[in-house]
């Protein structure tokens, strides 16, 4: 039984080949993203395994169905890049990895906050050049600051617990209230209240029609001056041009993003010798108070092991007509 991988990186092959010793699938890897051209190349595959920037459109799904593909296995949590209705119409199962080390993503969000605040990336370079001055490195205590968390699922909760450890006041926004977090002192509140009262705002909700461009000029206008915005969730939660305007006006004081709306043209590739045509990311990179990482929040040894194990188990379960027991079945 063959699984064909798209957008695969060296580390995918290492972790999946290792985990596959327990499962015994035939694994075929393509570096390129799945599109209508590559979908036509597939032969005898039971499943395709895709990642965050593969666009699984209805056209792609139609070809996959004609090739006999039965499963689309996402090796990530989000599934906004798959046309779920089209998959359902063609009887193709879609599964994902619902939970893999939420701490990996939460801890990366913390790393972004600490870097932006204490400027350790600048200090590192400065000291290596024997510049021991502190000018421009001033930060603030995170202790006792107010942190707004939008999306209190697995990652939001892991992030929340770390911020509680810092001694922060937590404002949360979610469609459901978790009472155990309320008992820990978390205050669920409206978005307006969260925006108006948070020094740091971190996004941990999924991207869907309701949350697309959640952070736009209107939302930003309600925030504190100098607010720190962190997005490790999905790029299109933020309307990038609005945030750029707010950075220019110094309304947004810090921006940390691990995700970017147009990331599929950039991330996971070495473009160091290329001319980047995306002026928006170039503008973002020009701000001294913006930190961009290239969708690496998930990138820990523990997370990669869990992703490989869960993805292969999902495919095995679905092949045996068992629902993926871990909540990984999307449709």
Active site residues: 234, 263, 295
Q: Residue 56 has what DSSP assignment?
A: B
User: What's the CA gap between 189 and 252, in Å, rounded?
Assistant: 21
Contact track, ligand NAI, 10-39, x by CB under 6 A: ------------------------------
The distance of closest approach from Cβ of residue 285 to ligand NAI in the complex, given in angstroms and rounded to an integer, is 18
Q: Which two tokens stand for residue 206?
A: 């999924």
In 3-state terms, what secondary structure has residue 317? Answer: helix
Contact track, ligand NAI, 138-177, x by CB under 6 A: ------------xxxxxxx----------------xxxx-
Interface with ligand NAI: number of residues (CB under 6 A) = 30
Q: 102-118 vs 120-128: helix axis angle to the nearest 10?
A: 60
Residue 30 vs 299, nearer CB to ligand NAI:
299
User: What's the CA gap between 243 and 217, in Å, rounded?
Assistant: 7
Among 39, 61, 74, 77, binds ligand NAI (CB under 6 A): 77
**Long-range contacts from 57-64, C-beta under 8 angstroms, 24+ separation:** 57/83, 57/86, 58/83, 58/85, 58/86, 60/34, 60/35, 60/36, 61/86, 61/87, 61/90, 61/92, 62/86, 62/90, 63/36, 63/39, 64/39, 64/90, 64/92
Residue the block writes with tokens 């041009």: 241
Asked whether 244 and 280 are in contact (CB, 8 A), the reply is yes
Q: Which two tokens stand for residue 138?
A: 């001033």
Kindly give the pairing relationship between strand 26-29 and strand 146-150. Answer: unpaired
Position 259 contacts ligand NAI (CB under 6 A): yes
Residue the block writes with tokens 């090796």: 75
Among 129, 141, 210, 279, binds ligand NAI (CB under 6 A): 210
Residue 38 vs 294, nearer CB to ligand NAI:
294
Asked whether 147 and 200 are in contact (CB, 8 A), the reply is yes
Position 233 contacts ligand NAI (CB under 6 A): yes
The distance of closest approach from Cβ of residue 294 to ligand NAI in the complex, given in angstroms and rounded to an integer, is 10
Residue nearest to ligand NAI (CB): 153
Contact track, ligand NAI, 284-313, x by CB under 6 A: -----------x-xx---------------
The distance of closest approach from Cβ of residue 325 to ligand NAI in the complex, given in angstroms and rounded to an integer, is 17
DSSP characters over 101-164 = -HHHHHHHHHHHHHHHHH-HHHHHHHHHTT----TT------TT-EEEEE--SHHHHHHHHHHH
The distance of closest approach from Cβ of residue 149 to ligand NAI in the complex, given in angstroms and rounded to an integer, is 9
Residue 52 vs 86, nearer CB to ligand NAI:
52
Position 258 contacts ligand NAI (CB under 6 A): yes
Among 93, 145, 204, 313, binds ligand NAI (CB under 6 A): 204
The distance of closest approach from Cβ of residue 151 to ligand NAI in the complex, given in angstroms and rounded to an integer, is 3
Residues 80 to 119: which contact ligand NAI by CB under 6 A?
Answer: 99, 102, 105
Per CB under 6 A, residues contacting ligand NAI are 77-78, 99, 102, 105, 150-156, 173-176, 204-207, 210-211, 232-234, 258-259, 295, 297-298
């Amino acid at each position: 039984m063959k699984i064909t991988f798209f957008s695969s990186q060296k580390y995918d092959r290492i972790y999946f080949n290792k985990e596959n010793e327990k499962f015994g699938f035939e694994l075929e890897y393509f570096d390129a993203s799945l599109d209508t051209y590559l979908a036509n190349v597939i032969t005898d595959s039971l499943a395709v395994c895709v990642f965050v920037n593969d666009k699984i459109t209805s056209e792609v799904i139609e070809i996959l169905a004609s090739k006999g593909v039965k499963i689309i296995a996402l090796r990530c949590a989000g599934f906004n890049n798959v046309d779920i209705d089209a998959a359902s119409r063609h009887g193709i199962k879609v599964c994902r990895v619902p939970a893999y080390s939420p701490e990996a993503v939460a801890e990366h969000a913390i790393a972004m906050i600490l870097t932006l605040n204490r400027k350790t990336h600048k200090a590192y370079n400065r000291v290596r050049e024997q510049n021991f001055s502190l000018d421009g490195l001033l930060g603030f205590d995170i202790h006792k600051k107010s942190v707004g968390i939008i999306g209190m699922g697995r990652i939001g909760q892991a992030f929340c617990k770390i911020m509680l450890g810092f001694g922060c006041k937590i404002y949360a926004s979610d469609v459901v209230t978790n009472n155990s977090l309320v008992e820990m002192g978390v205050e669920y509140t409206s978005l307006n209240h969260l925006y108006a009262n948070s020094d740091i705002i971190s996004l941990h909700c999924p991207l869907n029609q309701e949350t697309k461009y959640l952070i736009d000029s209107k939302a930003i206008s309600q925030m504190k001056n100098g607010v720190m915005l962190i997005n490790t969730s999905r790029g299109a939660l933020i309307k990038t041009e609005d945030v750029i305007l707010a950075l220019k006006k110094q309304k947004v004081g810090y921006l940390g993003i691990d995700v970017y709306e147009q990331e599929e043209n950039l991330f996971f590739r070495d473009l160091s010798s290329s001319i980047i045509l995306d002026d928006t990311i170039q503008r973002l990179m020009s701000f001294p108070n913006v930190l961009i990482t290239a969708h690496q929040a998930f990138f820990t040894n523990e997370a990669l092991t869990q992703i490989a194990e869960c993805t292969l188990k999902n495919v095995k379960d679905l092949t045996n007509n068992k629902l993926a027991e871990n909540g990984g079945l999307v449709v």
